[in-house]
Amino acid sequence: MTARDTILANLRQRSIANGETGFQYVRDNFAEVSAALPLERFVALATAESMTVEHLVDLHGVPGAVSRYLRAQQLPEQIVIDTSACLQPDVFSGSGLKVSVPPLMPDHEVLLSGCSGAVAESGALIISTGDGHAIANDFLAETHIVILDSARIFETLGDLWDSLRAEAQGGFMPREFCLVTGPSRTADLGVPAKLGAHGPARVHVLIINGQG
């Protein structure tokens, strides 16, 4: 008998309700309740967890917003752009920004990328593989500027699961998706926690079609 057979046989012998199959889907109704609109809620929670945000009318505003942010942070005006940003590098011509598209980025760089949406209840951005997006870059950058479409802000985690089920390609979830609630942090060097443990020390969100 293989270990698999032995373990499963032991489980079947000991399980209280063995033999039954299938699922009982119970909708998750335990989300935190709020009267605020999803966009307001996401912004309030994300900024409380050390993210920063700027509202833009459309993607045309991105190069200017990126330049402003980098200047304010006193960072070099040099970025790496990911395909998920839905922007071609030529959009940045004339912006004064130096733009590159390497497959995997070195440390101390600024990454501009898109995301799959956000969850208002958790104040979380959803970053995901798919469409050639190298998700590892989202964890390698020291500064992460994320473009978020305000139409993709889910009110609760339950709404996100519904959407993922509906959008599943070939019945599969994205290879990896991650709910990000703020910069990388650690409390292993004491309290208060320090930002920038391994991943981004700064997460700046450009919300498109926001309040302008």
Nearer Cβ to other proteins, position 42 or 208?
42
Nearer Cβ to other proteins, position 57 or 176?
176
Instruction: Write the CA distances from 102 to 135, 171, 172, integer angstroms.
Output: 13, 31, 28
Shortest spacing between CB 91 and other proteins, in angstroms: 21
Residues 71 and 83: their CA atoms lie apart, in Å, by 24
**Stretch in the footprint of other proteins (CB under 8 A) among 15-23, 72-80, 91-99, 147-155:** 15-23
Options 6, 73, 93, 211; binder of other proteins; rule CB under 8 A:
6
Shortest spacing between CB 56 and other proteins, in angstroms: 25
Q: Does residue 197 bind other proteins (CB under 8 A)?
A: yes
Options 39, 43, 45, 81; binder of other proteins; rule CB under 8 A:
45
Query: Could you write out the DSSP letters of every residue in 19-80?
Result: T--S--------PPP-SS-HHHHHHHHHHHTT-EEEEESSGGGHHHHHHHHHHHTT--SEEE
Strand order in the sheet with 52-56: 52-56, 202-208, 143-149, 110-114, 78-81, 98-100
Q: Does residue 75 bind other proteins (CB under 8 A)?
A: no
103-142 footprint of other proteins as x/- string (CB under 8 A):
xx--x-------------xxxx----xxxxxxxx-xxx--
Q: Does residue 25 bind other proteins (CB under 8 A)?
A: yes
Nearer Cβ to other proteins, position 185 or 202?
185
Q: Does residue 165 bind other proteins (CB under 8 A)?
A: yes
Residue 186, SS3 per DSSP: strand
